[in-house]
Chain A
Amino acid sequence: MSRSSHDEINAVYDKYSDTMYRIALSHLLNKEDAEDAVHDVFIKYMNGSFAFFSEEHEKAWFIRVTVNHCHDLMRRRKLRSHAPLEEAMEVFAEAGTSDTMREILTLEDIYKTPIILHYFEGYSVEETARMLRISVSAVKMRLSRGRDKLKDKLSGEI
C-alpha cells in the first residue's frame, strides 16, 4: 500500500470517517454496507499513487469518492433488492433525529446528496458544487427542488 503508516491512517481517518459514514449510511440505508463503503474508500486512498495539494482538495476527494462508491454499490444492489429504510432509521432515531430525516432518506439521491452535504454536513453551496462536480446553480436548483419535495411530504413543516 502506498500510505500505510498508523499515524497517517489515524489522522486521515479521524478527520473524515464520521462524515463519510453518515453520508454512506444516508445513501445505502444499511449499517454493514455503509461500513464497507467507508472501508473501501480508505483502501482506495491507502493504495492511491497520488497526493493532494490542500486539505480542501483531500476533503473533496473523500466525499466525492464516498458518494460515487455508494452510487456504485446501489446500482449493484438494485439487481438484488432494495435496502429497507428501517435499519438506517434505527441509527438516526437513536441519535435523536425527527421524522423529517425519514423523509430526507427517501428522497432521490439527486436531491438527497446536496441536502445532506449542505444542510447536515454544513458545506457551503460552492463547496458542495465542487465536491459533486456540478455547477453552483445546479446545487441551488437541487436544494430548492429537494426542499419542495420535502414540503410536499411533510405538509409544509419546513
Chain B
Amino acid sequence: MNENDISAYKKITAPSSIKERLISESAKERKNHHVKAAFCYAAAGIAAMIIFAFTFFWNEGASLYLNGDEIGGKNVFVYENSSVAVARTFTASRVTIPLKTDKDAEITVSSGMIVIDGEDMGQKIKTKKNAEFIWMFEGEADGYQLEVKTDKKSSLYSISHKEGTEKFYIKKVN
C-alpha cells in the first residue's frame, strides 16, 4: 500500500463531540447513582457486614447459577438442541449455557467461548458480581470444564453428555 495513503488515513481522528456526549452521559448516570446511593448507604452498610461475615466464616468462593439455581455436585440438565441465537458466530450445533456468578470472579473455560452481550470474549474473562454470561461450545463436550476463581477460592464445573442424545449436564466437581 502507498505510504502516503497510510499516513493520510492516520490523520483522521474521532471528533471531540463523541467524548463530550460520553462524559455528559456518564456524569448524569453518576448523579443519579449518587442520589440513589444516599438512600441506600445505611442498608448497604448492614448488608455488607452480613455478607462479609458470611463469606469470611463460611464460603469464600463464587457460586455458579443456571436459570437462577445454584449448580452443585449433582448433574443439572442444561441443553436440548436449542436454536436460540445468542452470538454472531452461532451455528445450530452449538451448545449454549446461560450462567451467572454471585461474586466478582475470573471465569475460564477449557473449550468453546464465553459470550457477553452477544460478543465473543474468548476463553477467559473477569466478570462482575451477578454478571450474566454464556458458555458456548461445540462437540461431544464430555469433560469440558469451567473454572470460577475468586481471590479466595477456585471451583471447577464439568459438562457431561448423554450418549445418543442432545442432552447435556453440568455439575460442580470440586
Contact = CB atoms under 8 A, between A and B. Distances in A.
Interface stretch (B37-45, B64-72, B112-120, B153-161): B112-120
Interface residues on A, range: 35 or more
Interface in B111-164: 116-117, 119-122, 124-128, 130-133
Interface string B1-34: 1101110111111110111011101110110010
Contacts of A135: none
Contacts of A64: 119-120
Contacts of B174: none
B9 A101 contact: yes
Q: Tell me the interface secondary structure of chain A in the complex.
A: helix
Given A49-B127, A97-B5, A119-B6, A17 B14 contact: yes
Given A96-B4, A119-B1, A48 B116 contact: yes
B10 A13 contact: no
A35 interface: yes
B22 A9 contact: yes
Contacts of A43: 22, 25
**A-B pairs with lowest CB-CB distance, top 8:** A49-B131, A21-B14, A96-B8, A51-B126, A49-B128, A17-B14, A4-B26, A119-B1
